[in-house]
Structure 1
Amino acid sequence: MRLHRLTVTAFGPFAGTQVVDFDALASGGLFLLRGATGAGKSSVLDAVCYALYGAVPGLRPRTRLRSDHAGAGVRTEVRLELTLGGRRLEVTRSPEQPRAKKRGSGDTVDKARTLLREWTGGDADGGWRAASTSHQEVGAEIQQLLGMSREQFCQVVLLPQGEFARFLHAGAPDRAELLGRLFDTARFGAVEDWLTERRQRTEKDCQAVLGEVGASLERLRQAAGRAADAVDPLPPVTTPAAATDGAALGWAAQLRAQAREELTVAHCRQQAVEQRRELAEQRAREVEVLADRQARHRRAVRRSGELAQQDGQQREALDRLERAQRAEAVLPLLRLRYRAAQAQQRCEQQERFHRAALPAAHAGADAEELTAAERHWREQLGGLRTLLSAERRFLAIERDRAGLERERDDDEAVRAEAEAWLTDEWPGQRQRAGAGLEQARAAAGRADRLDEQVAEARRRADAAEQAGTLRAGLAQAGERGLRQREDAEAAREGWLDLRERRLDGMAAELAERLADGAPCPVCGSAEHPAPAPAGPGRVTREQEQRAEQRYREAARAAEQTGEELRRLERDAAALAAVAGEGTPGELREAVQRLEAEQQRDRRTAAEGLRAQEELDRLEREHERRTAVSGQAAELVAARTARLEALATEQRELAAELARGRAGAASVAARVAELEPLADGLAAAAAAVREAAAGAETLARAEREALAAAEREGFTDAEQAGRAALPDPETARLRAGVQQYRDDLAQANAELTDPQLTAAAALAAADPAADRAVLAAAEAELRSAYAAVQAAGARCAELDRLSAGLAAELRRLAPLAADHRTVSDLAFLAAGTGTANALRMSLETYVLAARLEQVAEAAGARLKVMSQGRYSLAHNDARSRGAGRSGLGLSVLDAWTGQSRDTSTLSGGESFFASLALALGLADVVTDEAGGMPLDTLFIDEGFGSLDEDTLEDVLDELDRLRARDRAVGIVSHVADLRGRIPTQLEVRKGRGGSTLHQHGAG
């Protein structure tokens, strides 16, 4: 991968469009990315990462990619031109960002956009060709060509020194976290988790079946009852091994055998009790039969005597039945005569009633005369009913006239009120509302004209106050800058003094590093006859480095304070130009005067809104009152005409109704008088006719009843009626006679039965004693039967439970074997089993192999950087206590021949060790990604901790990277690097945003 050109617009701290020509920066192989703190050095690297992956390193949100300095019409965009896998590509990305709507007011959101183009050559058909505009497709294409995820890219191409320094001194968990991200060993951790989850699941399955086995054993014990006490107890079953050793099945077999023995004993007892019960039942039946025959014979003798005493009563009952049978032929005619007499009596009563209600003129009239009188009055009623509707109309007109007169009076009052308002109140109210509206409009215009004056006055007052504040800060910043420059000069003199004293004692420092038999780094001799001794006041390398660090920090602080002082001076001058003449107090008083005047005008303008509302209300009220007056006048005229028409119609109806009333209060009252008279005449005529017909019917019925009584042998109809009997009495007498005959026949039959006669000759039987013996035998039989049923149910239940236990044990066996296998693998993969001597998990084992590769690659670089003294080695020694092993690192010191812990390295040694580790890790990750060559690398801060000689060694190693056609960018604040690395990309920050400047690039 080689970067060619980066273009950023409105991205991060860059307000406009900035271009980075990586081809020009890479011409020297090594270039420096520098700038003040917060200028945007990291934003250049963020732009590269965003162009490739659509996201920036770390956890920063995508919504903060847009520059706060950019104008509203400038769209945030990043374009990166690079070579990947021999293909020249251009990636353009724009994040989601707001913009002003093209139509109307407000903002809308532009969606994120991505464009991938590929260079196809310089011929006529060549040029940039669009490859894709899909976020997903572009991301997949870039990641496939790079072979690295975003996390790997940020670690391999953008080498973060601080993180690798922590990695160098970190423990196994922290190293595992970084290596896991880079080499994607999560699948091995997933295997560990899967085995653990599988072990827990198989254990849960085994425990579930084992619980069922225990429950089955408990159910077997409960089902066996007393039989369980006759066999040896079963030890508790708490493990799969204890459940599958055969003891449980043997114990269940013993329970079944004991239960079957109890069932055989119960069967034998039941058979013996059944024989005794059959004998008792036979004897009880025989005694019951004898006792029944003796009782029947006694009842027959007693009944025969009772029937002999009822003979006379039975003959009398037979005679009554015979006379009642003859009277049956006369009864229908007697009933007809009775009903005819009842009807005649009712008709006579109706006739007397209706005649009493008639006028005296009709008291003695016959039926024909009464009918003629009824017809006359019916004709009179027909004529009167035709006048009833006219009478109702007359009354309705009376009500309508009263209502219309009230409505006409109301409409006249409404019209008069509306006319009074339109004439007296409307002109004055309209004139007052119009004057208030004109006054408010004038005040609103004055308030609008004062807006610009108030804003300008406020801006001048604010600028004057801020300028005063800045001038106070200028004095403090000047004093602070003077002190910091003096401190920096003193620190520089102290550092140079210590450096000179250390150079004077360098021979003694080198002599301390000499070892017998080891070559001298100066002359190469293995003999050291007179090493230089250390003098008094010796200065160590660490003291010199600390003094230099104090000087660098003091110089940076002084430089920053100077920049702040210059910025404050520029800001104060700009604010003073805005404020102009006048003190801050005078300017603030002018603002207050203008604001007070503007507030008065705005209050007056607000009252104008109420005046406009009042004027609109008066206009609407004028329209309403005018309409109301017109409508009321129309209604008054219409109702007056209607009243005149109703009065004429009412006079015509009054004359017609006077003729029909005939002196009554009304036509309806006259109808009410005549209707009862006509109805009474009709009812009286009908009653007279019905009374005559009833008398004829009664005479005919009496003649027929007398003739029928004489034919049946009775002297008159009344004698036949007395001989008749009611149906219930007849049925009772016949039932009594038949019952007497049946009882007499049954008594005679039983008295002559030979079995009953023979039983009566024997001694009296006692069935109660034999029934008691039978009841005792049946109770004993039920007990024996219940015992057999219980024993049989116990055997069946034990068979069922034993079969279930066997099935559960068969199901448990493969689960237990699977659990043992999975447990052994899970503990081995997790590093907690006894078979894993180093307590190294599967993921740690894979990471250890990767770390070994990284240590080998980094050791070669570290050896060159340290002039052959140090190299890195992977350490998989077993950790103490419960810690895991496999991710250890140690430093091999060639001068002492001993391995040292990485925590013993000094600051500078830790830097170039971590740099070697980062470069070695980059090589291994690159190989892991398929060998994709990384021609552009960035190395973050950390060079300030190196002395001059070590810095030269590190730069030499970086030159070796350049020799392999790599471009290496160093991100650093170290001032010495500016003179050593001529090719530079400088980031300058300002109030309007940061800018990029390239120096020394070809």
Structure 2
Amino acid sequence: MRLHRLDITAFGPFGGSQSVDFDALSAAGLFLLHGPTGAGKTSVLDAVCYALYGAVPGARQSGSGQGMNLRSDHAEPRTRTEVRLDLTVAGRRLEVTRQPPWERPKLRGKGTTVDKAQTWLREYDGAAGAWKDLSRSHQEIGAEFEQLLGMSREQFCQVVLLPQGDFARFLRADAEARGRLLGRLFDTQRFADVEKRLAERRRATEARVREGDAALLADAHRMQQEAGDAMELPELAPGDPGLADAVLEAAAVARVTARERLTVAHCRLAAAESAHAATRRALEDVRELARLQSRFAGARQRAERLQERAGDHHEDRQRMERARKAEAVAPALELREAAEEEHRRAARAEARARGMLPDSHTDAGVGGLSSAARRAAEELGGLDAARRAERRLTGLAEERSALDRQDRADEDVLREAETWLAEWDTTRAALQSRVDSAQEAATRAEQLAVRRDPMRGRLDAARTRDRLAADLEEAQQRADASGQRALDARAHWLDLKEQRLNGIAAELAAHLTDGEPCAVCGATEHPAPARKVAGHVDRETEDRAHRAWQQAETRHTEDDQRLSAVREALAAATAEAGDTPTAQLEEAAAELEREYARARRDASALHAAHEELRRTEQEREQRLTDRQQAAVRAASRLTRRDALEREQAQLEAELTKARGTSGSVAARAAQLERQVTLLTEAADAARTAEDSAQRLKDADARLADVAYRAGFDTPQAAADALLDPAAHRELQHRLDTWQTEEAAVRAVLAEADTAHAAQQPPAEPATAEHAAATAERRLREAASARDAAARCCTELDRLSARATEAVRRLAPLREEYDRVARLAALTAGTSADNERRMRLESYVLAARLEQVAAAATARLQRMSSGRYTLVHSDDRTGRGRSGLGLHVVDAWTGRERDTATLSGGETFFASLALALGLADVVTDEAGGVRLDTLFIDEGFGSLDDQTLDEVLDVLDSLRERDRSVGIVSHVPDLRRRVHAQLEVVKGRSGSALRQRGV
């Protein structure tokens, strides 16, 4: 990648338009970017990063990498912020232009509006000699540059814009911090994902194995419940080896015991069935004897009760005979009663009909009434035409009323339409203003949404910073306390050791035996062996104090490691959050959220405003149409009203003749209809009354004749002998019951078995029932025991088969778990086979760090005149894991030491060499993309003249690879040594750029 030209407008501290000719600066190979503090040296590098990735370096972002905070405060209100970069990458000449969101004054009216961010990408076509457009999509252009460069924004800022401060921290950081930085640069997330995936698979497989063992144990518990004391469960937990074999062995023992119990239950059941059958037969014999004896006694009692009721039975038979004779007279009686009832109804109907007639027709006969009804009907038929005319006249009046209502409705429509249309212009302007306001709010909400996530991230980092600041003090106190305890424990151990050495003679004397040589002097006589004094310290006490010191030392080491981790985390959080107080960030974040909520709330009315404007325009069209149609209807109603008035006059003349003295033709017709109806009903009622009187006379004669032939003196005597259906059924039931009971008694008394049983002694069924109940209870118990034993065998067979199948299914799963567990432990660095406890990701990063150290050493030796060499170390540090150690070898002393022990100047050129080496390795990792332009930011002020010359020689040697290096510094001595310069001049109206020595 080679930069050609950079154009900046209203960006950062640059209020106007500034240009940088990188081709002229790069011709010298080494150029200097300098200026006073705060002039904007770093903003030039920010502009390069923003042009490529649409965001500035992470440490300098404030809210959003492409937000309006990039705009210069010195710029004119109508000058838009813009960055244009011309560069060559991967053999292609490209030009990218970016414009961040811009809050500008409105073209009309007061206030401001926000324009969206704009991005253009063009490519130079050498054959055509012209630029051609490629894309205007912000996301597509960012993805295109990330693919061409092979680096993310973070990698680019670390490789091309070399921040020395980051690498100085890298030299002093521990393995975990180095791992995080290298992981971001070399994208080793896939290896971390492999570790995570293997760990997840191990947990999942282990859970499945435990789940299978738990199911197997559950089946074993169910088998134990079925088998009772015949089965003992193994004392193993899910996941323990040997669980399956132990469960299957216990199940086999339980099945054999259950089958033996089933055989014994079968034998007991056969014996109980035989005893139960014998007692049931004896019980049935006793019950039969008792039944026959009770049957004979009951028959004798029933015979005695029949003899007592013999007189009543004779009277019932005589009464039934008279009722049968009276049944022949019943039809004539019913006929006479029906004729009498009919005659009474007809007489009442005739009286009621004659009472409603006029006095002139009250005494008329049937013929007179019929003649009067015919005359009234003929007069009614002549009024049909008049009634139709009268109905038409009523319809005409209703039609004219409807025309009047339509006139009033159309007048209301015309008046309302005119009123509404008069306010149309004002209404439309108000609705359009609502649409415009909602649209501006939607645009503002999009711009604010871009700034929310970075602000939240910075706020979280600030909170983490505050929390870690408190944790740092606590960790420092804990480390100091544990260090003091370790010193006290060591002093105590040394005191005890000294006391033991002072009394070691007594300890040796305790093992002396007369006649045996002394282990010290060899003498066989021991006249005065030393004796233990009070408070003697033995070896066990000394060892216990030594172990206490070691444990205290271990805790002190752990506390120091935790303190280092807290310091590193605090530095990272401070780098991300800056020095801004958390309360201020919370207030800024809350204000941003409130602005975003207000914008979203105002923007939510956009759709409703559009819809209301559309509905209002539709209503205007409808009201114009209604006004036109109302005018047309009013004209047509005038013609119709004239025709109705002529027809009404004609009909009123006809009806005046037809009404006569009545108020209307309808009233006259109703009067005649009522008269015809009353006369017709009266004639019919009189005719019906005459017919019913004749039928009543005939029924009386027939009834007297039938009663005489049936043997009754009068019809009333026959009526008294009749029985109603209920009484007849009751009497017949008593007669039938008597006959049935008499026959049944004679039959029972004639039975031979019953008579023989009556001569036997009284039966005792209670004793037989007790014996049968006892035998049945024993049979149920035996059957229940047999069924329980059978169920137990069946359930044990089923559960054993299921357990065997479960063991068969679990076998490959156990093998898979063992294999995955070994792999997961190996990649996580916890396996005994992983001697250095190095994780897979750390292993890959260690290889990368080894490459970086080798590439950095080539330059570090030259900068340090061959004194220093960077080497990678994979030794373990403390109790942690190994793989990311970095040491420096000092050729003057021949010793290897940690990079954190370098002085300030040594740290600078070591970090510079490390940065250049990392740039080479990341470039190769990215696919060999050439980086022809590099920038080095600050740090030269800590070097002496000789070291500075050596460092500049190394940088100047980069031209051998056709590279140009830009040094960002305000060190005065560099202005004499580097001739090609880009100066940033600070002024009240903003900063400006000047190129010198090119």
TM-score, structure 2 normalization: 0.66
Equivalent residue number for residue 84 of structure 1: 89
Secondary structure of the corresponding residue to residue 927 of structure 2: coil
Once the 2 structures are TM-superposed, how far is the Cα of residue 942 of structure 1 from its aligned partner?
0.6
1:976 aligned residue (973, 978, 989) = 973
Secondary structure of the corresponding residue to residue 32 of structure 2: strand
Equivalent residue number for residue 277 of structure 1: 276
1:676-825 to structure 2, matched below 5 A, reads 692-825=690-823
In 1, the alpha carbon distance for the partners of 2:384 and 2:945 equals 140
Once the 2 structures are TM-superposed, how far is the Cα of residue 986 of structure 1 from its aligned partner?
0.7
Equivalent residue number for residue 944 of structure 1: 941
User: In 1, are the aligned partners of 2:236 and 2:243 still within 8 Å (CA)?
Assistant: no
2:201 aligned residue (184, 198, 202) = 198
Secondary structure of the corresponding residue to residue 31 of structure 2: strand
1:18-57 to structure 2, matched below 5 A, reads 18-57=18-57
Label 1:700 to 1:828 Cα distance change in 2 as closer, same or farther (>3 A).
same
In 2, the alpha carbon distance for the partners of 1:166 and 1:108 equals 41
User: In 2, are the aligned partners of 1:830 and 1:842 still within 8 Å (CA)?
Assistant: yes
One-letter amino acid of the counterpart of residue 202, structure 1: T
1:297-348: CA deviation from partner (whole Å, max 9, x where unpaired) = 3444444555566666555544443443333222211222233334445666
1:60-113: CA deviation from partner (whole Å, max 9, x where unpaired) = 22114343434455444433333334x241222223433769985663524422
2:124 aligned residue (110, 118, 123) = 118
One-letter amino acid of the counterpart of residue 203, structure 2: Q
In 2, the alpha carbon distance for the partners of 1:355 and 1:137 equals 110
Number of aligned residue pairs: give it: 740
Label 1:696 to 1:213 Cα distance change in 2 as closer, same or farther (>3 A).
same
User: In 1, are the aligned partners of 2:82 and 2:100 still within 8 Å (CA)?
Assistant: no
One-letter amino acid of the counterpart of residue 240, structure 1: D
In 1, the alpha carbon distance for the partners of 2:874 and 2:102 equals 55
Once the 2 structures are TM-superposed, how far is the Cα of residue 729 of structure 1 from its aligned partner?
3.4
Equivalent residue number for residue 223 of structure 2: 220
Secondary structure of the corresponding residue to residue 985 of structure 1: strand
User: In 1, are the aligned partners of 2:873 and 2:885 still within 8 Å (CA)?
Assistant: yes
Equivalent residue number for residue 437 of structure 2: none
One-letter amino acid of the counterpart of residue 55, structure 2: A
User: In 2, are the aligned partners of 1:371 and 1:681 still within 8 Å (CA)?
Assistant: yes
One-letter amino acid of the counterpart of residue 842, structure 1: L
- 5+ residue gaps in structure 2? 389-654
User: In 2, are the aligned partners of 1:118 and 1:130 still within 8 Å (CA)?
Assistant: no
In 2, the alpha carbon distance for the partners of 1:111 and 1:30 equals 35
1:377-396 to structure 2, matched below 5 A, reads none
User: In 1, are the aligned partners of 2:52 and 2:96 still within 8 Å (CA)?
Assistant: no
Equivalent residue number for residue 638 of structure 1: none
1:182-261 to structure 2, matched below 5 A, reads 182-224=185-227, 227-228=228-229, 230-232=230-232, 234-244=234-244, 246-261=245-260
1:263-302 to structure 2, matched below 5 A, reads 263-302=262-301
Once the 2 structures are TM-superposed, how far is the Cα of residue 706 of structure 1 from its aligned partner?
1.7
Once the 2 structures are TM-superposed, how far is the Cα of residue 775 of structure 1 from its aligned partner?
1.9
One-letter amino acid of the counterpart of residue 74, structure 2: H
Equivalent residue number for residue 163 of structure 1: 166
One-letter amino acid of the counterpart of residue 34, structure 1: H
TM-score, structure 1 normalization: 0.65
1:888 aligned residue (885, 890, 898) = 885
After superposing the two structures, state which structure 1 stretch, 760-769 or 133-142, moved more: 133-142
One-letter amino acid of the counterpart of residue 288, structure 1: R
User: In 2, are the aligned partners of 1:73 and 1:99 still within 8 Å (CA)?
Assistant: no
In 2, the alpha carbon distance for the partners of 1:385 and 1:953 equals 135
Once the 2 structures are TM-superposed, how far is the Cα of residue 769 of structure 1 from its aligned partner?
2.2
1:567-606 to structure 2, matched below 5 A, reads none
One-letter amino acid of the counterpart of residue 193, structure 2: A
Secondary structure of the corresponding residue to residue 62 of structure 1: coil
1:30-81: CA deviation from partner (whole Å, max 9, x where unpaired) = 1110112222211222222233333322152211434343445544443333
Secondary structure of the corresponding residue to residue 208 of structure 2: helix
1:531-552: CA deviation from partner (whole Å, max 9, x where unpaired) = xxxxxxxxxxxxxxxxxxxxxx
Equivalent residue number for residue 98 of structure 1: 102
One-letter amino acid of the counterpart of residue 326, structure 2: A
In 1, the alpha carbon distance for the partners of 2:743 and 2:702 equals 46
Once the 2 structures are TM-superposed, how far is the Cα of residue 793 of structure 1 from its aligned partner?
2.1
Once the 2 structures are TM-superposed, how far is the Cα of residue 975 of structure 1 from its aligned partner?
0.6
User: In 1, are the aligned partners of 2:825 and 2:831 still within 8 Å (CA)?
Assistant: yes
1:371-450 to structure 2, matched below 5 A, reads none
Label 1:155 to 1:360 Cα distance change in 2 as closer, same or farther (>3 A).
closer
Secondary structure of the corresponding residue to residue 241 of structure 1: coil
1:784-805: CA deviation from partner (whole Å, max 9, x where unpaired) = 2222222222222223333333
Label 1:362 to 1:877 Cα distance change in 2 as closer, same or farther (>3 A).
closer
Secondary structure of the corresponding residue to residue 878 of structure 1: coil
Label 1:674 to 1:206 Cα distance change in 2 as closer, same or farther (>3 A).
closer
In 2, the alpha carbon distance for the partners of 1:674 and 1:148 equals 113
1:761-786: CA deviation from partner (whole Å, max 9, x where unpaired) = 43333333222222222222122222
Label 1:140 to 1:344 Cα distance change in 2 as closer, same or farther (>3 A).
closer
2:113 aligned with 1:107:
yes
In 1, the alpha carbon distance for the partners of 2:942 and 2:689 equals 149
Equivalent residue number for residue 988 of structure 1: 985
After superposing the two structures, state which structure 1 stretch, 672-681 or 981-990, moved more: 672-681
Label 1:956 to 1:349 Cα distance change in 2 as closer, same or farther (>3 A).
closer
Label 1:984 to 1:737 Cα distance change in 2 as closer, same or farther (>3 A).
same
Secondary structure of the corresponding residue to residue 213 of structure 2: helix
2:915 aligned residue (912, 915, 918) = 918
One-letter amino acid of the counterpart of residue 115, structure 1: L
User: In 1, are the aligned partners of 2:66 and 2:101 still within 8 Å (CA)?
Assistant: no
Label 1:79 to 1:750 Cα distance change in 2 as closer, same or farther (>3 A).
same
In 1, the alpha carbon distance for the partners of 2:96 and 2:87 equals 12
One-letter amino acid of the counterpart of residue 935, structure 2: F
User: In 2, are the aligned partners of 1:240 and 1:816 still within 8 Å (CA)?
Assistant: no
In 1, the alpha carbon distance for the partners of 2:176 and 2:347 equals 129
- 5+ residue gaps in structure 1? 390-652
In 1, the alpha carbon distance for the partners of 2:680 and 2:921 equals 133
In 2, the alpha carbon distance for the partners of 1:954 and 1:294 equals 137
1:337-391: CA deviation from partner (whole Å, max 9, x where unpaired) = 23333444566677788889999999977666788899999999999999999xx
2:66 aligned residue (62, 68, 82) = 62
User: In 1, are the aligned partners of 2:233 and 2:247 still within 8 Å (CA)?
Assistant: no
1:906 aligned residue (903, 906, 925) = 903
Secondary structure of the corresponding residue to residue 27 of structure 2: helix
In 2, the alpha carbon distance for the partners of 1:361 and 1:110 equals 108
Equivalent residue number for residue 177 of structure 1: 180
Once the 2 structures are TM-superposed, how far is the Cα of residue 940 of structure 1 from its aligned partner?
0.9
User: In 1, are the aligned partners of 2:83 and 2:99 still within 8 Å (CA)?
Assistant: no
Q: CA RMSD in A?
A: 4.4
Equivalent residue number for residue 416 of structure 1: none
Secondary structure of the corresponding residue to residue 237 of structure 2: coil
User: In 2, are the aligned partners of 1:81 and 1:88 still within 8 Å (CA)?
Assistant: no
1:387-410: CA deviation from partner (whole Å, max 9, x where unpaired) = 999xxxxxxxxxxxxxxxxxxxxx
Secondary structure of the corresponding residue to residue 990 of structure 2: coil
Once the 2 structures are TM-superposed, how far is the Cα of residue 128 of structure 1 from its aligned partner?
4.2
Equivalent residue number for residue 579 of structure 2: none
Equivalent residue number for residue 444 of structure 2: none
Percentage of identical aligned residues: 50
Once the 2 structures are TM-superposed, how far is the Cα of residue 687 of structure 1 from its aligned partner?
6.7
User: In 1, are the aligned partners of 2:87 and 2:94 still within 8 Å (CA)?
Assistant: yes
Once the 2 structures are TM-superposed, how far is the Cα of residue 141 of structure 1 from its aligned partner?
4.6
In 2, the alpha carbon distance for the partners of 1:339 and 1:777 equals 76
Label 1:909 to 1:308 Cα distance change in 2 as closer, same or farther (>3 A).
closer
Once the 2 structures are TM-superposed, how far is the Cα of residue 288 of structure 1 from its aligned partner?
2.2
In 2, the alpha carbon distance for the partners of 1:982 and 1:718 equals 159
Label 1:718 to 1:255 Cα distance change in 2 as closer, same or farther (>3 A).
same
